[in-house]
């Protein structure tokens, strides 16, 4: 079965409640600079909400150990009831959840991630918490416009990049987990469009 490189999921989360949890969390938690420094310019930073079990330092909480088999919520998730609700809405085993912030004027360079693909073992979903119209997310060279409160599958084994040309932080809740029947079923109910319709749809999105 072939999978498209992007899919908007049938979820609609409350942007105001997402932002309220973000405000509550960042009042007492510091952002951690992303450790893959060669992949970005500017400020790309993380707060880990779920990680491999036993990670005691925040930096280790944002590192994905491919050999990990046990996972747990981090203390950062405690003051965030709506983030917990959002993560629980995805019926799969979540291995990690992070808030990822891209500050104004910052760029994530074109790169690809290993094994984050619905056709592989792990999959990643994005839920925009705070965004703006001048965020330019590109996947396979084509723009993906994601509004606050939406949820998206993105095939991140393919080349992708992000540039925040706006004046406000762009913050996404990023949830990773194991591919299961529910994940595969998302594509059964939303088969890829025929090529002609897919091109027309993409031109409308911009």
Residue 79 is part of a domain; what is its CATH number? 2.60.120.330
Whole-number pLDDT of residue 57: 56
Distance set, CA 65 to CA 38, 58, 60, 193 (Å): 20, 14, 9, 36
Q: What SS3 state is found at 84?
A: helix
Between CA 144 and CA 25 the distance in angstroms is: 27
The pTM is what? 0.86
pLDDT at 106: 98
> What secondary structure, in 3-state letters, does 20-39 show?
HHHHHHHCCCCCEECCCHHH
Evaluate whether 79 touches 28 at the Cβ level (below 8 Å).
yes
Segments of the chain with pLDDT less than 50? 190-206
DSSP state of 57: S
Residue 179 inside a domain? The answer is: yes
What span, in angstroms and rounded, lies between the C-alpha atoms of 155 and 196?
21
- Copy the structure tokens of residue 142: 């084509």
The pLDDT of residue 61 is 57
Residue 95, domain extent: 6-205
Does some domain include residue 1? no
DSSP 8-state symbol, 191: P
**71: Cβ contacts below 8 Å, ≥ 6 apart:** 50, 51, 52, 53, 93, 94, 95, 96
Q: Are 60 and 74 in contact (CB under 8 A)?
A: no
- The Cα-based distances of 143 to 134, 161, 203 in angstroms read 11, 10, 10
Using an 8 Å Cβ cutoff, are 162 and 80 in contact? no
Q: Report the alpha-carbon distance of residue 127 to residue 97 in Å, rounded.
A: 11
Predicted confidence (pLDDT) per residue in 99-117, tens digit: 999 999 999 999 998 888 8
Q: Report how many domains make up the chain.
A: 1
Task: Tell me, yes or no, whether 142 lies in a domain.
Answer: yes
């Amino acid at each position: 079965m072939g999978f498209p490189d992007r899919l908007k999921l049938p979820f609609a989360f409350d942007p105001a409640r997402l932002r309220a949890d973000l405000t509550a969390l960042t009042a007492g938690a510091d952002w951690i600079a992303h450790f893959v420094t060669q992949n970005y310019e500017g400020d790309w930073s993380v707060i880990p909400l779920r990680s491999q079990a036993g990670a005691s330092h925040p930096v280790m909480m944002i590192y994905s150990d491919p050999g990990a088999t046990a996972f747990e919520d981090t203390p950062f998730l405690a003051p965030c009831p709506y983030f917990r609700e959002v993560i629980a809405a995805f019926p799969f085993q979540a291995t990690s959840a992070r808030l990822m912030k891209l500050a104004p004027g910052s760029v994530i360079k074109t790169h690809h991630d290993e094994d984050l693909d619905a056709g592989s073992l792990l999959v990643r979903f994005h839920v925009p918490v705070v965004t703006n119209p001048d965020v330019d997310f590109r996947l396979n060279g084509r723009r993906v416009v994601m509004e606050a409160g939406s949820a998206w599958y993105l095939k991140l084994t393919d080349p992708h990049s992000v540039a925040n040309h706006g004046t406000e932080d762009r913050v996404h809740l990023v949830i990773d987990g194991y591919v299961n029947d529910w994940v595969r079923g998302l594509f059964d109910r939303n088969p890829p469009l025929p090529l002609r319709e897919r091109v027309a749809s993409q031109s409308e999105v911009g």
